[in-house]
Amino acid sequence: MATTRTERIARLRGLYAVTPEMEDDDVLVALVESALAGGARLVQYRAKASAPSVRVRQAVALARACRHHGALFIVNDDARLAIDSGADGVHLGAQDGDPRAVRLAWPDAILGVSCYDRPELAVAAAEAGADYVGIGSVFASRVKPGAVRAPLERLAQARSASGLAVAAIGGITAANAPLAVAAGADMVAVISALFDSPDVAQAARELSRPFDTEPHSHVRTQPTAL
């Protein structure tokens, strides 16, 4: 199991499972266990509407499951919850806090930042200490139907400009995941096509398949000017 930030950065590749909002702890953990068994390499706990006590309980349980499977565990939005639950890091959106402050408070964290359709935000994220950026919505999203669309070329642009690993998000399915990976995604972040499947483990295997054929090329590069 990797323990340093550098070792964790090297593992930023593959299927990035983003959890659905769910009150039933046992069902949520079972779904995530299935995704991990099918090949998910990262899990992001996303629970914006749940009570604080539920969030703590679920995050601790999911962190334990991820450690068992050798996967990275990231908490959406909440750095304090991430630290308290034993997560590997935190993912911040535009309104979720200052990446610089998180990096200063938690030097070893894996820090992800949403950059939507704007590669220039990826540059700012890198300067603030981020380890990866999220770009999307790369396809039409059922979870966020009004989300700004990001053309696939934004993936390579963001990586080239920032030197960071890039997670594609938004409307990703087993059918279109190869397009995102071929366009430069180091990770594909998926909710619906994974957790709405009647066979989550099989869905995870299918979503992971593009990473078996594309070369591993997310290693940090010297950023280029936009």
Q: Which residues are catalytic?
A: 46, 114, 144
Question: What is the phi/psi pair of residue 96, to 5°?
Answer: -105, 10
Q: Assess contact for 36 and 66: CB atoms under 8 A.
A: yes
- Coil, strand or helix at 10: coil
The CA distance from 127 to 99, in Å, is 9
Q: Does residue 61 come out as left (phi exceeding 0), alpha (psi in the -120 to 50 range) or beta?
A: alpha
The CA distance from 107 to 124, in Å, is 18
Give residues with Cβ within 8 angstroms of 110, minimum separation 6.
Answer: 5, 8, 9, 12, 72, 74, 88, 89, 90, 131, 132
Both tokens assigned to 116:
């939507």
Pairs from 100-105 (Cβ < 8 Å, separation ≥ 24): 100/128, 100/129, 102/129, 103/128, 103/129, 103/130, 105/79
